[in-house]
């Protein structure tokens, strides 16, 4: 039995990861300041003796008793609505918070995995994006607090590894969807599903021709776990689904799957919103033996069912 710390543990990805780890009979400590997440996501785990929750901000001095074998650092708001609410704190989370977690990993001699993002590639000039691509990020734009913050987090991970020998892992997460997404996080899939279920117009930003590659949450969790357990490979590695869809195609699929009669309306594209996003997962296949398994339609049906249950309660 490992003792595993999951920061951002009550968030969308974090809570799904906690459930996965508990099912593996690991001991899990979830940490979250609840800024952009909900404690409801982890309520089902609170009665489990192998699970504990600490409400804490990783940007502040961080100490924890006992042994820790692994740290999954997921703490950071990940949708533009939330990370732009307090951009300074967003940057701090990817710098001060990451330093605090790296120091904890050093103290506990724990392996630490940093949840980086496809946003480190910015609005990419390379398509699909390989891990060797250095990105095209506007350092002065409204998304920079997240994009540049995550790039700095990767730098810190590598420097702690080189300078102190810290046992690190870096995964770059591409667009992910599934149960426990927040209804108000402004992400494409959740936005479209909520609008469809409420019989509101589906709002597309831009022409809808911009593309994304969407992976179901279970695929992401299995990829992250494979990376954490992999020896002699620190990354970075892309974890995403290389199947590419236009935003308009996603909207149309959700309209069909929900049986709604919604119209599609168009608004202006937000500043620095990438026009294309698709991972090259050659490295994940070679190093981890991983690739996504859940087809888009199957994942969307599960996600729609989840939001239907939320709406009924």
Known catalytic residues? 146
- Which residues are CB-contacts of 263 (< 8 A; sequence separation ≥ 6)? 201, 202
Output the six-digit token pair for 304: 């729609």
What CA–CA distance (Å, rounded) separates 241 from 261? 29
Report the relative pairing of strands 211-212 and 245-246 from DSSP bridges: antiparallel
Q: How far is it, in rounded angstroms, from Cα 177 to Cα 303?
A: 8
CA distances from 238 to 9, 149, 283, 307 (A): 21, 18, 8, 28
Strand pairing partners for 52? 29
Which DSSP string do the residues of 155-215 spell out, in sequence order?
Answer: HHHHHHHHHH---EEEEEE--EE-TT--TTS--HHHHHHHHHHTTPPEEEESSS--EE--E
């Amino acid at each position: 039995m490992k003792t595993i710390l999951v920061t951002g543990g009550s968030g969308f990805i974090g809570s799904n990861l906690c459930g996965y780890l508990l099912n593996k009979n690991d001991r899990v400590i979830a940490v979250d300041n609840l800024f952009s997440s909900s404690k409801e996501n982890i309520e089902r785990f609170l009665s489990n003796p192998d699970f504990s929750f600490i409400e804490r901000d990783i940007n502040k001095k961080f100490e924890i008793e006992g042994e820790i074998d692994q740290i999954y650092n997921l703490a950071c708001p990940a949708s533009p609505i939330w990370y732009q609410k307090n951009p300074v704190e967003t940057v701090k989370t990817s710098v001060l918070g990451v330093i605090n977690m790296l120091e904890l990993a050093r103290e506990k001699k724990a392996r630490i995995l940093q949840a980086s993002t496809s946003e480190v590639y910015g609005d990419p000039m390379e398509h699909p994006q390989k891990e060797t691509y250095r990105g095209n990020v506007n350092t002065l734009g409204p998304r920079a607090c997240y994009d540049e913050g995550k790039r700095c987090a990767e730098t810190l991970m590598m420097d702690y590894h080189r300078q102190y020998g810290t046992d690190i892992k870096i995964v770059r997460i591409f667009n992910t969807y599934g149960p426990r997404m927040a209804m108000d996080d402004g992400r494409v899939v959740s936005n479209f599903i909520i609008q469809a279920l409420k019989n509101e117009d589906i709002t597309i930003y831009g022409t809808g021709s911009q593309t994304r590659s969407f992976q179901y949450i279970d695929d992401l969790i299995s990829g992250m776990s494979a990376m954490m357990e992999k020896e002699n490979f620190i990354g970075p590695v892309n974890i995403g689904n290389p199947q590419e869809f236009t935003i308009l195609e996603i909207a149309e699929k959700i309209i069909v799957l929900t049986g709604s009669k919604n119209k599609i309306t168009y608004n202006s594209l937000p500043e620095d919103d990438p026009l294309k996003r698709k991972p090259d997962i050659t490295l994940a296949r070679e190093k981890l033996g991983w690739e996504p398994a859940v087809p888009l339609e199957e994942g969307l049906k599960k996600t729609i069912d989840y939001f239907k249950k939320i709406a009924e309660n």
